[in-house]
Structure 1
Amino acid sequence: MTARERLALALDVPDRAAAMALVERFASDFGVMKVGLELFTAEGPALVRDIVAAGNRVFLDIKLHDIPNTVEQAARRAGELGVWLLTLHTQGGPDMLAAGARGLREGAASARRGAAAEGSGAGGAGPNADAPIALGVTVLTSDADAPPEVLKERALLAQRAGCGGLVCAAPDLPAVSAAAPGLLRVVPGIRPAGAAQADQRRVATPAAAIAAGADVLVIGRAVTAAPDPDAAAAAIVAEVTAELGAS
């Protein structure tokens, strides 16, 4: 994976106009665009479709946590939208996680069949041609005290339930990687050296996170709130590229 493929930009903005402006501005640096609760609540599925149609992979970070049937149906709709990554909270338990992972896969498959039937090509070709991945959220990065045994338990739970990846803080990577090897590791709380931590408690620099085993880094305010966002993005890309070359 290139540096761009390893970087997800958090579109933590209130509306479509601001989100699409970020997508257009930073698509050459960030291969994944993350839509979180604020933006999804404001703009809904239509925005996700627009970002996918613009040629971007989408990480829908809404941390589904409900009864299994509700989560399965919500995940199915996410799969139909063409998202690449979808978060499910591991606190929901094995049945809920399995239902969410199943719904995501089936929704994506249904969308591909529908696109093929309409004669619009392979259905799912392009940035989201890969199978979608359900991510089990272990412990939020705002939680300063995450016992290793809880991390390991939740990582293993996600793996056994059929999730293809995990969301965890960089300091948690050794514990979750040992408990559930082979899963995609998505890491928020990334802060370049000298950047403010804000409400994140367990953070790491881009290079340190890559060195610890992160697959995808989630970057938000470190770029979008920087005095010079373009320079901040370029510096992060350079840092990740250098770390990948050294590893």
Structure 2
Amino acid sequence: MSGPRVIVALDFADAAAALAFASRVAPAQCRLKVGVELFTAAGPDVVANLVSRGFDVFLDLKYHDIPTTVARACAQAASLGVWMMNVHTLGGKKMLQAARESIDRLAHRPLLIGVTLLTSHGEGDVAELGFEHGAELQVERLAGLAQVSGMDGVVCSPQEAAALRRRFGKDFLLVTPGVRPPGSDTDDQQRIRTPAEAVTDGADYLVIGRPITRAPNPMAVLESINREIQVH
């Protein structure tokens, strides 16, 4: 694993705002995440623009559909030059394997990871969804499904990172939203950790949005986080 470990979530409503932010940070300091709001508003062009600026882009669309549809979507996403993309593990083994096979046939092979449970889900939400054994066990089961289906890793809460690292080893990527620098608002996240705690627990990449994007000096915040996690 090389390059920046911080992935900044571009939670903006339009391309102009996202690109204005991108001009204030550097590819050497962070990677960037394009999610469903920005992609719906701005489409593939904003991804291509960010890639052309030298940024590694994580396309966070959480594909979840029939296997053929997801496979084709993944191939289209890969053609944009993204560094990483994700699919939802609840789509099942056939869907995950179809996504894997579609990427493996391409000259440009992005990292492909599986979403387990959203970090906005607390134990009450997990029970409401019909999962009987709690968030941690459900995440571990879905991560196991992702691994046997050929995913490069999973998205998980930093609270689950330590257990997943012990079970799945050092080569299985753990991408953790729900990371907040000390003193930051939790916003809509429930299962959170600081950057240092997340890395200590085994996270490879940290997804951080508003504490950076809303900061008066985003580069200063990035530099502080990068210093914090370098010693862990």
- The equivalent residue for 1:121 is none
Output the amino acid matched with 1:208: E
Contact 2:117/2:135 (8 A) holds in 1: no
* 1:157 has 2:145 as partner: yes
Q: Distance in 2 between matches of 1:183 and 1:136?
A: 11
Structure 1 unmatched ranges of 5 or more: 113-130
Structure 2 unmatched ranges of 5 or more: 124-133
Q: Distance in 2 between matches of 1:230 and 1:134?
A: 28
Output the amino acid matched with 1:203: I
Output the amino acid matched with 1:197: T
Q: How does 1:92-171 map to 2 (within 5 A)?
A: 92-106=91-105, 108-109=106-107, 131-145=109-123, 146-171=134-159
- The equivalent residue for 2:90 is 91
Contact 2:27/2:55 (8 A) holds in 1: no
| SS of residue matched to 1:147 | helix
Q: Distance in 1 between matches of 2:67 and 2:175?
A: 23
Output the amino acid matched with 1:143: H
* 1:39 has 2:38 as partner: yes
Q: Deviation digits for residues 41-77 of structure 1, max 9, x if unmatched? A: 0111111111111111110000000010110000010
Q: Classify 1:45/1:28 alpha carbon distance in 2 versus 1 (closer, same or farther; 3 Å).
A: closer
- The equivalent residue for 1:236 is 225
CA RMSD, 1 decimal:
1.7
* 1:194 has 2:183 as partner: yes
- The equivalent residue for 1:122 is none
What fraction of aligned residue pairs are identical, expressed as a percent?
43
Output the amino acid matched with 2:117: V
Shift of 1:228: 4.1
Shift of 1:82: 1.0
Shift of 1:155: 0.6
Q: Distance in 2 between matches of 1:30 and 1:138?
A: 27
| SS of residue matched to 1:186 | strand
Shift of 1:196: 0.6
Contact 1:29/1:234 (8 A) holds in 2: no
- The equivalent residue for 1:15 is 14
Output the amino acid matched with 1:142: S
Scaled by the length of structure 1, what TM-score is found?
Answer: 0.84
Q: Distance in 2 between matches of 1:104 and 1:31?
A: 24
Contact 1:206/1:239 (8 A) holds in 2: yes
Shift of 1:174: 2.2
- The equivalent residue for 1:124 is none
Shift of 1:29: 5.5
Contact 1:7/1:217 (8 A) holds in 2: yes
* 1:203 has 2:192 as partner: yes
Mean alpha-carbon deviation: is it higher for 220-229 or for 184-193?
Answer: 220-229
Shift of 1:166: 0.7
- Greater share of helix residues, 1 or 2? 1
- The equivalent residue for 1:76 is 75
Q: Distance in 1 between matches of 2:28 and 2:56?
A: 13
Q: Deviation digits for residues 67-94 of structure 1, max 9, x if unmatched? A: 1011000001011111111111111100
Q: How many residues align?
A: 221
Q: Deviation digits for residues 154-198 of structure 1, max 9, x if unmatched? A: 011001111111100111012322333321111111101111101
Output the amino acid matched with 2:221: A
| SS of residue matched to 1:199 | coil
Scaled by the length of structure 2, what TM-score is found?
Answer: 0.89
Q: How does 1:23-62 map to 2 (within 5 A)?
A: 23-28=22-27, 30-62=29-61
